[in-house]
Amino acid sequence: MGQKKRGFFCLTGWTGTVLLLLVSLTGQGLAQTENPAAKAVKSSPQMMPYVLHQSFPRNAGEGRPEQLFFDELARALFKDAGLSFSEQDQQPWKRAYQETLYGPRHVIYPTTRTTDRENDLKWAGPISRTFWNLYGRKDAGWTDQKLADIFASARIGVAMGSAREDYLRKRGAKNIVSVPRDDQLFAMLQAERIDVVAMGAASVDFFSNDPENQGIELGRLASYRVCYLYFALSKDSANGDVAKLQNSLEAFYQDGRFLAMRRDFDLSADPDSEFIQALADPKNRDIGCVDIE
């Protein structure tokens, strides 16, 4: 009986050794047949395509011509710079920002270049400029209020996770109401859930012309900041890629492609306007935001 047990354990050990060898050889064979492109991406994340987070929403009825322009500009510049990319459908801004902040090779636009974001992302631009305004209904009694009084008393609606939200809190606004998308702000204003909206002039003009918002007459209450907008890339993006993107943008400014593309989307494109000259001026390449007192 003892001899049978020893023979059994010997056979079992020999069989286990053979199985291990087979598994090892099979693993080596799979590694050798792995897709070369997949191996390249694993060994060098810099070979991954950039993920462009689209500005235009999936529901075309909610989109604005300016958003279409930014998406087309992004595609054209990345192609011109020779940088591969894929596209991600529009997401709530806060989610897209978090993915760009912590994920590899993501790109969001147009993005406000603030001091607290400066070192967390890499930047190419500017591609637009906006005045940060507060708007309220003309019949609601906020028109003659000072900025400090509005900050102290008004319910101010703003896009969740936006630079405006954080800044308004720092400026002392007491009652911030944040929503996932800025197109929701007009509905909240109409339902009297907020008193004031914080958004750019282009967005206000677009939403004001929406038939669903015809009953709302808005007036500008105050301008409190001017900001240049950029492509914001994940921090792991290669400096050489950012330089290529910036150089392509400079070429678009110089040879007229930037203005031609704006005209294609019926956006302001007067080369003599202060807006276009400010964007094309090399002196404004690293400017983020400037307060208006």
- Cα dist. 271→60, 67, 96, 237, 238 in Å? 29, 21, 33, 32, 33
CA triplet 78, 281, 55: central angle to 5 degrees?
Answer: 40
CA 262/CA 260 separation, integer angstroms: 5
Give the pLDDT confidence score for residue 61 in this predicted structure.
Answer: 64
CA triplet 148, 153, 154: central angle to 5 degrees?
Answer: 100
Give the pLDDT confidence score for residue 70 in this predicted structure.
Answer: 97
Contact 188, 228 (CB under 8 A): no
Give the pLDDT confidence score for residue 139 in this predicted structure.
Answer: 85
CA 112/CA 118 separation, integer angstroms: 10
The number of beta carbons lying within 10 Å of the beta carbon of residue 88 is 15
Give the pLDDT confidence score for residue 231 in this predicted structure.
Answer: 98
Instruction: Please tell me the number of Cα atoms within 13 Å of 64 on its side-chain side.
Output: 19
Which residue positions in the chain have pLDDT lower than 50? 2-12, 14-43
Give the pLDDT confidence score for residue 206 in this predicted structure.
Answer: 75
Tokens 């999936």 -> residue: 58
CA triplet 119, 53, 38: central angle to 5 degrees?
Answer: 90
Give the pLDDT confidence score for residue 136 in this predicted structure.
Answer: 92
Q: What 3-state DSSP class applies to 31?
A: helix
Give the pLDDT confidence score for residue 19 in this predicted structure.
Answer: 37
Give the pLDDT confidence score for residue 161 in this predicted structure.
Answer: 87
CATH for 131-226 (3.40.50.300, 3.40.190.10, 3.30.980.10, 3.10.129.10): 3.40.190.10
What superfamily would CATH give domain 48-128+228-287?
Periplasmic binding protein-like II (3.40.190.10)
Give the pLDDT confidence score for residue 12 in this predicted structure.
Answer: 45
Give the pLDDT confidence score for residue 44 in this predicted structure.
Answer: 53
Closest C-alpha to 82, from 234, 229, 251: 251
Contact 259, 267 (CB under 8 A): no
CATH 3.40.190.10 intervals, the chain: 48-128+228-287, 131-226
